[in-house]
Amino acid sequence: MSKILEEVLNANANYVASFGDKAALPMAPARKFAILTCMDARLDPAKFAGLSEGDAHVIRNAGGRASDDAIRSLVISYKLLGTREWFVIHHTGCAMETFKDETMREVLASSLKTATVDETGYHDSGEGPGSHEGDYIDWLTIQDKAGSVVTDVRRIRAHPLVPHDIPIYGYVYDVKTGRLVEVPGLI
């Protein structure tokens, strides 16, 4: 058993011991909102948005981007589980700002091993095999943090399965202060 697996299972055992009445939580989020944000480990939506279990849906992916799958989750959240407001929250210091789609495609084509990074960028060991399947993925990298929030909010708003009256807010989480900073231009 790996150290990580052992730590996770021990933490789960402790969680189970104090699980209490959480089994009675309804499937629908009590506060009726959803957050789309980045998978970055420094972001804890429960803490920065004051959430308890059962309060809100939190959808996470690399960059907190409005991918097809994120929109799928938001539509389910609204249509079947009753959320009435949505937040798109990107953050400072996001790894998705540190490379471009071409970079991912190149390192994946070289090998599937973890790449290294230094002041000149990402590098792959070249210890193949690699794959060109990455050529067919839009990696949704970020070149402009506030601009990506605007793009994602607009994409969600324009989606034919998203009702026009659902408020969608756009913010950038500052990893140095914990503050949510509103992105202008989202009317």
Q: Please give the pLDDT value at position 187.
A: 64
Give the whole-number percent of the chain exceeding pLDDT 90.
Answer: 95
Mean pLDDT of 96-106: 96
pLDDT on residue 104? 96
Q: Are 126 and 110 in contact (CB under 8 A)?
A: yes
Report pLDDT for 127: 84
pLDDT tens, residue by residue, 84-97: 999 999 999 999 99
* Strand residues in the chain grouped as ranges (E): 33-38, 57-61, 85-91, 116-118, 121-123, 168-173, 180-182
Q: Which residue has the higher pLDDT, 186 or 149?
A: 149
pLDDT per position as a tens digit, 18-51: 999 999 999 999 999 999 999 999 999 999 999 9
- The two tokens of residue 42 are 């420094």
**Would you kindly state where each structural domain of the chain is located, as residue ranges?**
28-98+141-187, 100-139
Q: Tokens for 27, please give them.
A: 């499937």
Pick the CATH number of 28-98+141-187 from 3.30.460.10, 3.40.1050.10, 3.30.465.10, 3.40.640.10: 3.40.1050.10
DSSP run (H or E) holding 7: helix 3-17
The 3-state DSSP class for residue 53 equals coil
